[in-house]
Structure 1
Amino acid sequence: MPRRTNTGVRYLAEYKGYYRVTMAVPRQLQDQLGQRLVKGLDTQSLLIARARAPQVIAEFKRRIEDAWTARGGKKHSLLAEALEVRGMLQDADEDMEHFLRQGMNERIDKILSKGATYKTVWNPELGPDEIRIPTKEALAEAEEYRQIVRGSTPIAYHHESFMRTLKIADRSKLDEPRALGIFLDWLSTRNPPIQPFIENVTRPVALRYMDEMPAYTGLAWGSNAKYFGRLKFYWSWLSKRGFAKGNPFHDLTIAKDKVAHDEEERAFTDSEMQRLFMGDPPEGRSMLDVMWVAALTGARLDAVIDLRVGECDDGWFTFKPQKKEKSSRDVPIHPDLLPIVRRRIEGKKPDDDLFPEWPAPKPPSVKPRSSYYSKRFTKYSRDIKVRDELEGKRRSLINFHSFRRWFITKMERAAVPGDLIAAIVGHKRSGLTLGRYSDGPEMGAAIEAIKKVRMPPLDGSVVIEDRSLTPRRRRQA
């Protein structure tokens, strides 16, 4: 059932003063499309929204139908029936095969009759003859049925089995259906559309997708590369198990655009740090405390938000593994963080959250616990105008990860050795000797290194920025 709205149009709803189309996704397709399809209409006018909505609604319905097709159809659907017939044909003897093929032809005839019109023509030998004129939809449906019975396999048919073999974090698993969904949408919007069968994805199709994907999605290079890589991995899985004849994506990658150094994401300046920490976010200490820990450890947001009391009550933080880290790591608690830690662990049990104000999303969501904090921090930084936005860039060049960049920059400028910095922030250390055989630097060295990082003055006094050897874009007044 569509969500009830007060707009008079099914699927059209108002959100924060603007109108958007929102449509629920069938439960069986949510691993592929998400729980809802949502698209903003960029207008506050109900009249304009009503005019724009039908096209988006039709697009959403097509995406849902394409998703059913790609996974083999709804239960008891025509596609599911075709797959069942194909399975029976594979094990049939000669008599059974003849029986099944006769049934297949009768089924196709029935499909073509649905909605057909009839025209009487004169046959010189037989007299008046009635000709059936099938609809375009029936012709396409019959051809699809015929292809599947003859051996074509819907692209998403094996995707559920593929997902069960993955040994990655639940959050990372979300990328798999997104990657597949983007590819299926692309196939359906080509001219002419490419039927979503494994056998139709040839090397030329793979090359075309690689070339067209960036413009088609409008996403940043990192997102396109990630989704393309996940699709390539799925095809590798299909190929290894004999479900596909080779992997047409095997040596293809999305080329990275050249980015000028002054257009890359960067560390906060000391002036920006001063404004962030002297500001007054709506969440008060609960937001500022997370910022303090991130700034004086260089830890990622996920690692900070997930800290428990028992992971910081003995003089150091124990951060869970992030990205490609294989194990947790200990980082000394900076002297400036001790008051925050003492306040937060007082009267708490070891398993209690250090930041209970930022709980994990409720099931069935698999979003990281940090997702809500990230949104609130972005709003706060916008409110106080600590942003560095460029036209055409999806996000600001400074963001929460800039605390990590700032920390690493300060460590380097304090003459802390590079391998010690890498060990503290969880980066791979140089060479086989340190990278594989060493147990890591001595804790005392890390403590002394951490102490060298100093926050800028937070009393409003003038900040004199350090001059970097690497030039940056001059900011316009």
Structure 2
Amino acid sequence: MGAALGAATLSFKFGSEKGGGDRRYLTQPRGPGTSWYVVAEVPRTLQTTLGKKRLMKSLETDDLRVARAKRWQALTVLKAQISECRATTSSAKDPLLLEAMAFREELLRAEPARRDDLMYEIADRAAEIDLTHGGTGARDDHAPFEFEQAPPVQQSRDFALLASGKATPADLYLERWLSSSTYSERTKADARTAMSQFKAWCEKVNQAFFIETTTDRIASNFRDEVFVQAKVHPKTANKKLSALRQHWEWLDRSFAVRPNPWMRKSLPKAKAHRVAPDGPDGPERPFTDDEVRTLLAGPADTDLANVMRIAALSGLRLDEIGQLRIADCADESFAVTRSKTAAGVRTVPIHSVLRPVVAELIGTRDPKSFLFPDLPDTGWDDNRTMAISKRFAYYRKKLGVDDKRVGARRSKVNFHSFRRWFATKAEDAGNRENVVGDIMGHESDLGITFGLYSHAQLKRLKKACVESVKLPA
């Protein structure tokens, strides 16, 4: 067992220490022998505010081993800075907006006699703002509250509408809506991005960014100019439009805001029968045997090399591998305990080629610890594989394993292609479709049900299915 374990370990660690090992989030901007820094990417929506595409923090050491140990705490500090920036760039931090909302609150609570005085104060303040921004500051003394017509400058008109309660910033209740939802952190981020895009477009075309002024035509113009004319993929565009539509649905339930201007704004999906399989909009594909051979023989680091092999010989999704704990690898099976569907919660036999490697990864560690302990938690719904997914994409392209068609959003091969390759090989080996489906965690409505098998029979069938998949020589 010891000799076999040693041989397997060597085969799985080829090239893993080349270049100094794991350097995720680490850089030496001043060159070798100088201090290491930790790096955090700044979201596109915040790059203008922060004035940077990435944040860096010195770890005050030129020792890579020390830097590896210190990076996670430093990375937490940088991510907190990004989160704080996201909060402070909210429209609620605009000085004029704060002033207008203060007037609005006072107006709502004021006695009737005081309300008239407040309305005149709002009109006077709007005139001052108008004058400050190049207007005349003039207003109709006979109709001091007709703020939609006078004063004419956008900032003063918006101030008056907000302060008098006639308009509400479109993003004022965004965080309240998201905090009351059950959306994942990634979905919430998509919603924030969609609202930021809508706000930026409103500023660009000099359109008021209010709930009350967002009409059906405004929503259509935004969709056509930002998504259709820019040739954004319908799937991406519809994700953003759906977020805006759902926010307005919440506004309707909470404040009876209707109609919903974002209804029926989705872009049409391409007809399935009109999509050429090999065209830019065709489905993604499995790796070929040559591509699998190239990826597994390349200079991957230890974690990436092991994750790739587990994916190829088990059909597990990348996030399922990242969530595996030591206790989930008992009885020569991987136990998937978290999934989007009921069928996804399953056990998958550990391939004989993988057992020595899994045994080494387990060692004598705590059963509650992760099988891959060095994968960082990104803070996105307990996602631990975002960094290694990006690392794999860079690694794959560096080895020339790519299939990006002209006009396509992304390559037809990605990490999920290991899963597709496993399914293809399992079916090519003559395994029953429902057995393959159970290993993959697919929902099945096949006529042959698992009620026909005993637990022991099903376990044998799944084990035989997994073992029938062979890595390319």
When normalised by structure 1's length, the TM-score is 0.70
Q: Distance in 2 between matches of 1:162 and 1:168?
A: 10
2:471 is equivalent to residue 452 of structure 1: no
Pick from 427, 445, 469 the counterpart of residue 412 of structure 1: 427
Partner deviation per Cα, 1:275-297 (whole Å, 9 max, x = no partner)? 1112222x1x3211100111122
Pick from 159, 179, 196 the counterpart of residue 145 of structure 1: 159
Contact in 2 for aligned 1:316/1:330 (Cα 8 Å): yes
Residue 271 of structure 1 aligns to a residue in which SS?
helix
Aligned to 2:107: 89
> How far did residue 217 of structure 1 move?
5.7
Aligned to 1:273: 292
What is the percentage of aligned positions where both structures have the same residue?
A: 29
Contact in 1 for aligned 2:434/2:448 (Cα 8 Å): no
Q: Distance in 2 between matches of 1:96 and 1:231?
A: 37
CA RMSD of aligned residues (A): 3.9
CA gap of 1:33–1:166, structure 2 versus 1, over 3 A, is: farther
Residue 331 of structure 1 aligns to a residue in which SS?
strand
Aligned to 1:319: 336
Pick from 356, 366, 369 the counterpart of residue 349 of structure 1: 366
CA gap of 1:326–1:201, structure 2 versus 1, over 3 A, is: farther
Pick from 102, 110, 113 the counterpart of residue 131 of structure 2: 113
> How far did residue 384 of structure 1 move?
1.5
1:351 maps to a residue whose letter is K
Pick from 196, 216, 226 the counterpart of residue 239 of structure 2: 226
CA gap of 1:335–1:319, structure 2 versus 1, over 3 A, is: same
Which runs of structure 2 are paired with 1:178-327 in the superposition (5 Å)?
178-190=193-205, 193-215=206-228, 219-242=232-255, 244-257=257-270, 259-263=275-279, 264-281=283-300, 283=301, 285-324=302-341
Q: Distance in 1 between matches of 2:89 and 2:393?
A: 39
> How far did residue 352 of structure 1 move?
1.9
Q: Distance in 2 between matches of 1:96 and 1:431?
A: 72
Partner deviation per Cα, 1:210-236 (whole Å, 9 max, x = no partner)? 334434665443322222222221111
CA gap of 1:381–1:202, structure 2 versus 1, over 3 A, is: same
Contact in 2 for aligned 1:32/1:177 (Cα 8 Å): no
> How far did residue 356 of structure 1 move?
2.4
Residue 199 of structure 1 aligns to a residue in which SS?
coil
Contact in 1 for aligned 2:434/2:446 (Cα 8 Å): no
Partner deviation per Cα, 1:168-207 (whole Å, 9 max, x = no partner)? 33333322211221222233333xx221111122122223
Pick from 79, 82, 89 the counterpart of residue 97 of structure 2: 79
Q: Distance in 2 between matches of 1:268 and 1:88?
A: 64
CA gap of 1:138–1:117, structure 2 versus 1, over 3 A, is: closer
2:415 is equivalent to residue 400 of structure 1: yes
Q: Distance in 2 between matches of 1:37 and 1:322?
A: 39
CA gap of 1:91–1:326, structure 2 versus 1, over 3 A, is: farther
> How far did residue 70 of structure 1 move?
7.2
2:122 is equivalent to residue 101 of structure 1: no
Aligned to 1:10: none
Pick from 439, 446, 460 the counterpart of residue 424 of structure 1: 439
Aligned to 2:81: none
Contact in 1 for aligned 2:249/2:260 (Cα 8 Å): yes
2:407 maps to a residue whose letter is G
2:351 is equivalent to residue 334 of structure 1: yes
> How far did residue 327 of structure 1 move?
6.5
CA gap of 1:310–1:254, structure 2 versus 1, over 3 A, is: same
Q: Distance in 2 between matches of 1:178 and 1:161?
A: 16
CA gap of 1:424–1:326, structure 2 versus 1, over 3 A, is: closer
CA gap of 1:325–1:196, structure 2 versus 1, over 3 A, is: farther
Matched residue pairs, number? 385
> How far did residue 161 of structure 1 move?
0.6
Residue 263 of structure 2 aligns to a residue in which SS?
coil
Residue 262 of structure 1 aligns to a residue in which SS?
coil
CA gap of 1:274–1:68, structure 2 versus 1, over 3 A, is: closer
Q: Distance in 2 between matches of 1:366 and 1:343?
A: 28
Q: Distance in 1 between matches of 2:116 and 2:212?
A: 25
Partner deviation per Cα, 1:278-324 (whole Å, 9 max, x = no partner)? 2222x1x3211100111122122111122111111222112243445
Q: Distance in 2 between matches of 1:36 and 1:137?
A: 34
2:239 maps to a residue whose letter is K
CA gap of 1:217–1:312, structure 2 versus 1, over 3 A, is: farther
Residue 275 of structure 1 aligns to a residue in which SS?
helix
Residue 317 of structure 1 aligns to a residue in which SS?
strand
1:286 maps to a residue whose letter is D
> How far did residue 86 of structure 1 move?
2.5
2:188 maps to a residue whose letter is K
Q: Distance in 1 between matches of 2:278 and 2:247?
A: 36
Contact in 2 for aligned 1:232/1:250 (Cα 8 Å): yes
1:247 maps to a residue whose letter is N
Contact in 1 for aligned 2:335/2:348 (Cα 8 Å): yes
**Unaligned stretches of 5+ residues in structure 1:** 1-14, 17-23, 41-66, 120-135, 458-477
Larger RCO: 1 or 2 (CA < 8 Å, sep 6+): 2
Q: Distance in 1 between matches of 2:132 and 2:454?
A: 71
Residue 261 of structure 2 aligns to a residue in which SS?
coil
Q: Distance in 1 between matches of 2:338 and 2:431?
A: 23
**Unaligned stretches of 5+ residues in structure 2:** 1-28, 31-40, 55-86, 138-149
Contact in 2 for aligned 1:187/1:196 (Cα 8 Å): yes
